[in-house]
Amino acid sequence: MESINKQDLPKANADISEAKKCCDQCQENLDDAIDGVKVSMESINKQDLPKANVDISGIATDIQTCNDCFVETPKGEDNDVKAFYLGIKGVTEECLQNLKKAEIGVQKSSVDQNNDGTKMTSTQLEGLEQRIEAFKTFLTSKKNCGLTPPEAKKCCDQCQENLDKAIDDVKVSMESINKQDLPKANADISCIAKDIQTCNDCFVEKGNGEDKDVKPFNLWVQGVTKECLDNLKKA
């Protein structure tokens, strides 16, 4: 391994300092994004689709602001943050496209309305899969961080298995929906929530208490899966 040039140390320390500042800013951006998700769902529930469009666009902007912080540092963009941002961007764009279809849509028969419940659930599951994939990348970065304690690193390893299982359960859930086997789809979706809960529980039981990154992700997944189950009841 090449020896570190002492003259480069100030620059390296400066890069680390800038990255830490971006991490702090990103926590605020992510909090704003979570609030944006909640507000978006409220707007949709109220059938205020124009406002929902604005709310959803705001979610993407929040995550982009986080990504831009790293881009503007001397070291440049962060691979993990960039991947997460692109995943969120894809999900929000898909949400906006679905809202356009809802705005253009004409009155449907009761059968079509029932089908809407399964279609909406499938769309939510597709977005959920993308978010889980992005969170896997984030956890890899978290494990490799020198500030992460040993027990938390073990939980990061376990969570990778839990997240892989959750992704499999998402795919199985969509297959069950496509086959119109809604009772099985209900069970499959419930498994997704349990997979992520198991990840969260590891940090609670073996780490230093609830993890500030895993906890909100777990709560978000619980909320999405509950909404999926509610939509299936309408189908």
State pLDDT tens for residues 69-93: 888 877 788 888 888 988 898 889 8
- Give the C-alpha separation, 86 to 67, whole Å: 10
Q: Are residues 28 and 112 in the same domain?
A: no
Q: How would residue 108 be classed by pLDDT, with cut points 50, 70 and 90?
A: very low
Q: Are residues 63 and 140 in the same domain?
A: no
Q: Are residues 98 and 119 in the same domain?
A: no
Q: How would residue 14 be classed by pLDDT, with cut points 50, 70 and 90?
A: low
Classify residue 2: in a domain, yes or no: no
Q: How would residue 115 be classed by pLDDT, with cut points 50, 70 and 90?
A: low
Q: Are residues 158 and 58 in the same domain?
A: no
Classify residue 5: in a domain, yes or no: no
Boundary-marking domain end, from 105, 121, 148: 105
Give the range of the structural domain holding residue 216, as residue numbers without chain letter: 108-235
Q: For the segment 136-172, what is each residue's pLDDT rounded down to a tens digit?
A: 888 888 888 766 788 888 999 999 999 999 999 999 9
Domain tally for the chain? 2
pLDDT number for residue 112: 47
Q: Are residues 71 and 142 in the same domain?
A: no
pLDDT number for residue 103: 64
Boundary-marking domain end, from 74, 105, 136: 105
Give the CATH number, domain containing residue 78.
Answer: 1.20.58
CA-to-CA separations, 95 to 91, 134, 221, in angstroms, rounded: 6, 17, 17
pLDDT number for residue 9: 43
Give the CATH number, domain containing residue 156.
Answer: 1.20.140.40
Average pLDDT over residues 24-48: 87
Boundary-marking domain end, from 105, 135, 164: 105
Q: Are residues 172 and 232 in the same domain?
A: yes
Q: Are residues 76 and 141 in the same domain?
A: no
Q: Is the pLDDT of residue 4 over 60?
A: no
Q: Is the pLDDT of residue 16 over 80?
A: no
Q: Are residues 122 and 233 in the same domain?
A: yes
Average pLDDT, the chain: 82
Q: For residues 29 and 65, is the Cβ–Cβ distance under 8 A? A: yes
Classify residue 50: in a domain, yes or no: yes
Classify residue 118: in a domain, yes or no: yes
pLDDT number for residue 113: 44
Q: Are residues 76 and 147 in the same domain?
A: no
- Give the C-alpha separation, 199 to 218, whole Å: 8
Q: Are residues 58 and 123 in the same domain?
A: no
Q: Are residues 225 and 141 in the same domain?
A: yes
Q: Are residues 113 and 223 in the same domain?
A: yes
Classify residue 155: in a domain, yes or no: yes
Query: Given the structure tokens 């977005």, which residue do they identify?
Result: 127
